[in-house]
Amino acid sequence: MAPESDFEREPSRKDKYQHLLIDDAFKRVFGEEGKEDLMIGLIKAVLPELDIVSLTYISNTAPHQGTDTKKSVYDVRCKLADGTYVIVEVQQKDQLNFMDRALYYGSMPISNQVGDGGEYALDPVIVIAFLNFKLKHGPEWKPRIKSHYMLKDAEGRDTMTDKLQFVFIELKRFTKKVEECETFEEKLYFCMRHMFKLENRPENLSGEYFDNLFWTADTANMTAKEHEAYVRAMASERDIRNQIKYGIQQGIEQGIEQGIEQGIQQGKAEEKLETAKKLKSAGIAASIISECTGLDMEAIMAL
């Protein structure tokens, strides 16, 4: 396996396994008909308290309340046998107002449950997001890989409702090596973060579930059409990364240029003040000093 610091390398068409944090791969491995067992295992690893009998995949698009044109598009959306909606997302890069976006996406299935004159008896909605970055939390947050949110009172003791929940898995905070993974949850986190770099399946990742996962994620088992779609998705991901890197570099370069220019201008201003001081000491009229240096009369009189 590639070294820890190599996680940021781009996936290649030569990789043996797909990169599970790329939308296209995640949907193919966990979100298609016939992959229900893989999705159930993923959800139960994150939320073992859920009693999942079965699940059904539903459309990954949802119309916004009050409009027929704008829609929310999710990576995978499914419904459990007890009526709970589960939205599972993978996100490679941080983005502005991510928490607001998550709240908005999670609220859509809530608002869409109530029709005209409908009863407000809601099925729960759970949003699970696997993130390849670190979230920005409040000052009282304690560092951890998984954060679980729901609506509570301001003191955090009484739950208003558990009908809307958010679970964020910050994989950048998961640093265990494969031989250090003990629980099923840890092993799945390892796969989500590192599978695309593996050349062979580690012995520690054994059992029926991982048999299925590694077979499904193996690029050799993809059709030509699936592989081409995956390559296009990788290219799109690469373009986004390069655009971000380019933007950062441009910002740095512009900052340097502006800093140099500001330094030059500051130096010129200091030279003007020094010249004005000397002229004033020589008894030159303030009006003449102003004309020569470009300084206003008030600044000259204050010297």
- The label of the residue with tokens 């996936």 reads 11
Written as one string, the DSSP assignment of 114-169 is --TT----PPPEEEEEEESS-----TTPPP-SEEEEEEE-TTS-SEEEEEEEEEEE
- Contact status, residue 197 vs residue 1, Cβ threshold 8 Å: yes
Q: What is the pLDDT of residue 4?
A: 41
Q: What is the pLDDT of residue 57?
A: 94
Tens digits of residue pLDDT in 22-57: 988 999 999 999 999 999 999 999 999 999 999 999
Written as one string, the DSSP assignment of 276-297 is HHHHHHTT--HHHHHHHH---H
At residue 14, φ and ψ (nearest 5 deg) are: -90, -5
pTM confidence score: 0.72
Spell out, as residue ranges, where the chain has pLDDT lower than 50: 1-7, 67-69, 239-240, 243, 246
Task: Detail the DSSP E strand segments found in 158-241.
Answer: 159-170
